[in-house]
């Protein structure tokens, strides 16, 4: 393997980047990207153009492809900015072991950036500008964490400065969908972002909460178990509350009403996750309920966008 690592050939580099992608960009990242774009665009279409049926089109497919590759780009950024931390806590990761080099990841990031901006330019100039902002912010975060120990070590401060990249990805989808006609501009469209912020932060806190304080970066180290649990439940409730306020399921009847009320029922999933964590002796907060809530919510939003037209 070491001889392959030292190989200067472009083919060898491509193979190492491909192996990095297979290891660090799991299928659930791709699934998340697909569902995120469909749910975000569909929900924005439903609340901004409630009398117009939403159907994914060519622009939707291109946005999915762009977001999927940009998530890989951000994964590559994370691996490089977290290298010192991973040397201690995740010594088996490809960049730490030398299975891929930082230079090879940067070259791949350049290819992804050119492709993402070019593909977005085919949708609209605003789409290209929006995705360029996502790519630039990822590099900015890398530089910021290298220079600021506070941003690296304080998990809450780190969340404050890193989370906006998610908002920029959402803005890209909405701006691009507006330009291609799937979504109308308006406050409802902007407010939809709060649903996805709540869902993401619910998962983010769930995956970094433990019963006891540890050297690893955990929200529970600063907030305590009770504080982390409150955040996990609060963000899930925020996502559902905003969704109900925007979609107004009480305006529907029959099967459409049943579909529109699904997000409220889904709150049982995070409730179960917290009940399980607080009543058990598990050292770490269970992640599967949080994953199930996010995926089920996105699927419900997609179904709602397809079926619940006034």
* 154 φ/ψ angles, rounded to the nearest 5 degrees: -95, 110
Closest by CA position to 206, among listed 141, 292, 125: 292
- Best CATH choice for the domain 186-310 from the list 2.60.40, 1.20.120, 1.10.10, 1.10.260: 1.20.120
Instruction: Report the mean per-residue pLDDT for the chain.
Output: 92
Q: How confident is the model at residue 170 (pLDDT cuts 50, 70, 90)?
A: very high
Residue 53 phi, psi (nearest 5): -60, 135
Question: Tokens 């190492």 — which residue?
Answer: 16
pLDDT at site 310: 63
> According to the model, what pLDDT value does residue 153 have?
86
Alpha carbon 173 to its chain's center: 13
Nearest-angstrom CA–CA distance, 43 and 135: 25
The predicted model gives 283-303 an average pLDDT of 96
Is the per-residue pLDDT at 37 higher than 90? yes
Given a cut of 80, is residue 309 above it in pLDDT?
no
Q: For 185-200, how does the pLDDT look when each residue is reduced to its tens digit (9 = 90+)? A: 999 999 999 999 999 9
CB atoms within 10 A of CB 46: 26
Q: Reduce the DSSP state of residue 298 to 3 states and report it.
A: helix
pTM, rounded to two decimals: 0.92
Confidence of residue 1 (pLDDT cuts 50, 70, 90): very low
Q: How much of the chain, in percent, has pLDDT values that exceed 70?
A: 97
The CA–CA distances, whole Å, from 262 to 3, 44, 211, 229, 266 equal 54, 17, 31, 23, 6
267 has pLDDT over 60: yes
Residue boundaries of the structural domains of the chain: 7-184, 186-310
Position 214 scores a pLDDT of 81
Sign of the Cα pseudo-torsion (257, 258, 263, 265, in order): positive
Q: What is the DSSP string of 194-226?
A: HHHHHHHHHHHHHHT-BSS--SS--HHHHHHHH
Burial class (CB in 10 A: 0-12, 13-18, 19+), 5: middle
Go through 193-213 and write b for each residue having 16 or more CB atoms within 10 A of its CB, e for each that does not: bbbbbbbbbbbbbbbbbbeee
- pLDDT tens across 179-235, in order? 999 999 999 999 999 999 999 999 999 999 999 888 778 999 999 999 999 999 999
Region 7-184: CATH code: 1.10.357.140
Distances (CA, A) of 209 to 154, 217, 265: 15, 9, 24
């Amino acid at each position: 393997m070491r001889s392959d690592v030292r190989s200067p050939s472009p083919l060898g580099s491509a193979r190492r980047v491909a192996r990095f992608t297979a290891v660090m960009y799991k299928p659930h990242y791709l699934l998340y990207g697909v569902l995120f774009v469909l749910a975000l665009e569909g929900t924005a279409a439903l609340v901004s153009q409630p009398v117009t049926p939403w159907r994914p089109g060519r622009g939707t497919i291109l946005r999915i492809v762009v977001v999927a590759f940009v998530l890989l780009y951000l994964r590559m950024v994370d691996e490089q900015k977290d290298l010192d931390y991973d040397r201690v806590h995740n010594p088996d990761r490809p960049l730490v072991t030398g299975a891929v080099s930082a230079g090879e990841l940067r070259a791949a990031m350049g290819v992804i950036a050119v492709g993402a901006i070019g593909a977005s330019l085919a949708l609209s100039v605003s789409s290209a500008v929006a995705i360029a902002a996502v790519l630039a912010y990822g590099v900015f975060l890398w530089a910021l964490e290298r220079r600021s120990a506070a941003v690296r070590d304080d998990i809450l401060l780190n969340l404050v400065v890193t989370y906006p990249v998610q908002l920029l990805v959402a803005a890209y989808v909405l701006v691009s969908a507006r330009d291609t006609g799937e979504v109308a501009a308006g406050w409802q469209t902007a407010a939809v972002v709060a649903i996805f912020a709540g869902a993401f932060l619910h998962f983010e806190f769930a995956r970094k909460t433990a019963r006891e304080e540890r050297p690893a970066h955990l929200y529970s180290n600063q907030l305590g178990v009770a504080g982390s649990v409150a955040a996990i439940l609060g963000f899930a409730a925020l996502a559902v509350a905003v969704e109900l306020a925007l979609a107004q399921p009480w305006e529907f009847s029959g099967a459409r009403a049943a579909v529109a009320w699904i997000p409220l029922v889904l709150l049982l999933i995070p409730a179960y996750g917290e009940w399980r964590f607080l009543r058990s002796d598990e050292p770490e907060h269970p992640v599967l309920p949080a994953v199930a809530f996010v995926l089920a919510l996105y699927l419900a939003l997609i179904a709602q966008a397809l079926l619940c037209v006034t």
